[in-house]
Structure 1
Amino acid sequence: MKKFVVLYNAPQSAQAQMAESSPEAAQEGMKAWMEWAQRAGDGIVDMGNPLGTGKEVSATGTADTSSHVAGYGILQAEDMDGALALLDRHPHLMMPDASIQVYEALDIPGL
């Protein structure tokens, strides 16, 4: 099995989404995520979490991040097609302008 890092992108930060969501809407959203998790089953290694604001560190210092990454997760599958299949009908994609990036986690040679 290979591991895949999943980045959930949205035009609005996860903090803003949660602050603007009514308790009923939040509960309905969690229900959709739990239904997806049940479908994905053992393909989920780590459900992940929403992400707050971040910092970008470079050789010249730190700055606020400008990406739209709102959360992450880790999946496992035989290959990229299998990982993509796990994301079929994912509730994150119900949000306008949302997207999901999927990256295969590569083994480090010699470790």
Structure 2
Amino acid sequence: MPRFLAVYTIQPEAVVRFRALPRAEQDAIDAAGLKQWAEWEARHAASLPDRGGMVGKTLRVTQEGAAPGVNSFCGYVIVEAETIEAAARIFEGHPHFATFPGDGVDIMPFLTGPDPSA
């Protein structure tokens, strides 16, 4: 079955706005969103061979060395689906952007994969 990398994205200013909310409001959003997220994972467990996780601040490495970087990535999950469109449908109404302040999920096919003979 084809595999896809699904990257959760959020704009830095959305994080700032969320963190500026009163703590009780942040906690209420977190409680509702985490419950919805767990329910989403349970519904799609057969399509999620690697549940991935959320990620923190970026350290970008270039020829010049390592330095803090900025991007909109905040987490990832590996999805198995027949097509990229089928993978996208798995994320319709996802709590990442339906409840939390995430702005989207970028889905990309893996062009290489594990050697099936290994």
Q: Please, what TM-score do these two structures have when normalized by structure 1?
A: 0.81
Runs of 5+ unmatched residues, structure 1? none
CA distance in structure 1 between the aligned counterparts of 2:3 and 2:58, rounded to whole angstroms:
24
- Is structure 2 residue 35 aligned with structure 1 residue 35? no
After superposition, the C-alpha distances for 1:51-72 in whole angstroms (9 at most, x for unaligned) are: 1111111111112111011111
Which structure has the larger Rg over C-alpha atoms?
2
Offset at 1:38? Answer: 2.3
The worse-fitting range, judged by mean Cα deviation, of 75-84 and 36-45 is 36-45
Off by >4 Å, runs of 4+ in structure 1:
15-18
- Is structure 2 residue 91 aligned with structure 1 residue 60? no
CA RMSD of aligned residues (A): 2.7
Give the number of aligned pairs: 108
Q: Please, what TM-score do these two structures have when normalized by structure 2?
A: 0.76
| Percent identical residues | 24
- Is structure 2 residue 117 aligned with structure 1 residue 99? no
The worse-fitting range, judged by mean Cα deviation, of 24-33 and 63-72 is 24-33
Partner of 2:3: 3
